[in-house]
């Protein structure tokens, strides 16, 4: 949890480019984008929705990346400046819970890929589907245990194993995606037919659907917006992380989303229905070699995004909660073990439920992101006291009231209430489509207002504190 020294920050722009390849190329992002075609959007409408959502996410991620690269600190430490040393445990625990939740989802997705590979490679393996245990078909259960062991092995080798794994794991699924796009174009009679599929959404329903879809897409990266400093703290410089992310994020999200949309249109032409999960597409080809190769690519991509996002954030979060007991490796292994508690095999295949969950995640993470950005850029004027983030002294700059900042907690509550107001207040249903935007705006805005009032009442006109050499922190 301590600040990294300059010589410990070894990640280059290439590492950040490849790590975004691994993060972008995941099945959840593919399915959420492909579902836009399933609900009736045309290719161009869906692409506009995807680009709009991820452009906003990219700006927020870049803004929050500066802290990690500047101070060499992870999210659980940096958030103390806004919430206080003890109050910070609230957003940290919440994010840890969500990270473990996503960890479970991606392990389950990876297990479905392994099951597809084993069914194609081993005659008779698919016959295990007729047996059930713990709510799963036995063929998927065996695959789940294999995928679970793979994640445990990766996390057990520490944070630097993530960087090495992403260098080759990130680009691997592109081969599969390109192959599926070519297949989709062939089934439709050319790319022109794919991109000119008409919309079936009524004009009066389009913009609410567009906004709700953007919120769901933002939900897939809501935790990353918050904890990107967990990755940028390893950057050699601000230039490295900005250049690497500037290349990796926009290009990869645009390319990968466009391919998922093209393939979704292709499945509608080929099968008479939109198939959003690429694993299901592969099994319909009735070709063992395609299923084996594609399944392995999906497995690698799934493990890639899981360890780079959910594994890393959980590792830092749990270590922050119990620093005297846990290390990054131990925390990562706890995340792997706890993943089974969420039982994703019981609910993940329900697309409507997944969309609702993404909205809830965005509604809870957005206010914390708003508070964090408002604190650093407007309240602290981009200056933090590194020593103050670690001191337990009641006179410390972020001590507040016994380590709790009630203004941040109040702003967080207001942000969440604003984000979910569409669910709570009759007649306000349409507002829920904008939950992420409401959460970040109300969370950040109310925090600035409350802190401004606090400064006036205490006579503390400037609460930006000087930097401290990270090497001075034990």
- Which two structure tokens, joined as six digits, stand for 28? 């959840």
Out of 15-24, 106-115, 303-312, 378-387, least confident range:
303-312
Is the pLDDT higher at 291 or at 275? 275
Question: Shortest CA distance to 11 belongs to which of 312, 241, 219?
Answer: 241
Q: Could you report the per-residue pLDDT of 146-190, keeping only the tens digit for each? A: 888 887 777 666 555 555 555 555 556 777 888 889 999 998 888
Pairing of the two strands 136-137 and 132-133: antiparallel
- Judged against a pLDDT cut of 70, whether residue 472 lies above it is answered with no
Q: Which pLDDT belongs to residue 474? A: 45
Out of 71-85, 184-198, 407-421, least confident range:
184-198
CA angle 163, 233, 369 (to 5 degrees): 110
**Average pLDDT score over residue span 36-53:** 94
Is the pLDDT higher at 332 or at 39? 39
pTM: 0.81
SS3 136: strand
**Average pLDDT score over residue span 225-249:** 91
Question: Shortest CA distance to 303 belongs to which of 179, 96, 148?
Answer: 148
Q: Terminal CA-to-CA distance of the chain, rounded, Å?
A: 10
Q: Could you report the per-residue pLDDT of 215-228, keeping only the tens digit for each? A: 888 888 888 888 89
CA–CA separation, 152 and 349 (whole Å): 24
- Judged against a pLDDT cut of 50, whether residue 326 lies above it is answered with yes
Q: pLDDT class for 439, splitting at 50, 70, 90?
A: very high
For the chain, give the percent of residues with pLDDT over 70. 90
**Topology (CATH level 3) of domain 6-355:** Hydantoin permease (1.10.4160)
164's CB contacts (< 8 A; 6+ apart) are: none
Domain extents in the chain: 6-355
Out of 6-10, 32-36, 244-248, 469-473, least confident range:
469-473
């Amino acid at each position: 949890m301590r600040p990294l020294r300059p010589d410990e920050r070894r990640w280059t722009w290439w590492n950040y480019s490849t790590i975004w390849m691994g993060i972008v190329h995941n099945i959840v992002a593919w399915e959420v984008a492909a579902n836009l075609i399933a609900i009736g959007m045309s290719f161009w409408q869906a692409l506009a929705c995807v680009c709009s959502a991820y452009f906003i996410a990219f700006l927020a991620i870049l803004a929050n990346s500066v802290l990690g690269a500047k101070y060499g600190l992870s999210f659980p430490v940096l958030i103390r400046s806004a919430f206080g040393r003890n109050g910070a445990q609230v957003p940290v625990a919440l994010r840890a819970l969500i990270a473990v939740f996503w960890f479970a989802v991606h392990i389950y997705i990876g297990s479905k890929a392994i099951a597809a590979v084993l069914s194609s490679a081993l005659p008779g393996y698919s016959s295990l589907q007729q047996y059930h245990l713990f709510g799963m078909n036995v063929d998927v259960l065996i695959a789940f245990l294999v995928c679970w062991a793979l994640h445990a092995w990766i996390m057990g080798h520490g944070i630097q194993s993530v960087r090495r794994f992403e260098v080759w794991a990130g680009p691997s699924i592109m081969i599969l995606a390109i192959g599926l796009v070519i297949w989709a174009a062939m089934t439709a009679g050319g790319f022109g037919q794919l991109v000119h599929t008409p919309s079936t959404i009524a004009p009066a329903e389009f913009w609410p659907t567009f906004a709700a879809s953007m919120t769901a897409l933002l939900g897939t990266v809501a935790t990353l917006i918050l904890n990107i400093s967990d990755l940028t703290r390893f950057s050699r410089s601000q230039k490295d992380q900005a250049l690497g992310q500037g290349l990796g994020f926009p290009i990869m999200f645009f390319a990968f989303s466009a391919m998922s949309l093209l393939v979704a249109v292709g499945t509608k032409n080929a099968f008479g229905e939109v198939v959003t999960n690429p694993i299901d597409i592969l099994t319909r080809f009735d070709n063992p070699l395609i299923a084996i190769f594609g399944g392995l690519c999906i497995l690698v991509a799934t493990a890639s995004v899981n360890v780079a996002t959910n594994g890393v954030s959980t590792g830092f979060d749990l270590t922050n909660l119990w620093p005297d007991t846990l290390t990054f490796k131990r925390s990562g292994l706890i995340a792997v073990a706890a993943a089974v508690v969420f039982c994703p095999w019981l609910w993940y295949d329900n697309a409507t439920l997944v969309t609702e969950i993404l909205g809830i995640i965005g509604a809870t993470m957005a206010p914390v992101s708003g508070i964090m950005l408002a604190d650093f850029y407007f309240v602290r004027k981009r200056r933090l006291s590194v020593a103050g983030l670690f001191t337990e002294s009641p006179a410390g700059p972020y001590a507040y009231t016994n380590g709790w900042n009630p203004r941040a907690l109040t702003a967080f509550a207001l942000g969440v209430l604003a984000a979910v107001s569409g669910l709570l207040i009759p007649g306000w249903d349409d507002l829920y489509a904008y939950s992420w935007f409401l959460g970040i705006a109300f969370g950040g805005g109310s925090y600035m207002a409350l802190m401004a009032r606090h400064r006036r009442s205490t006579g503390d006109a400037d609460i930006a504190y000087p930097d401290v050499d990270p090497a001075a922190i034990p």
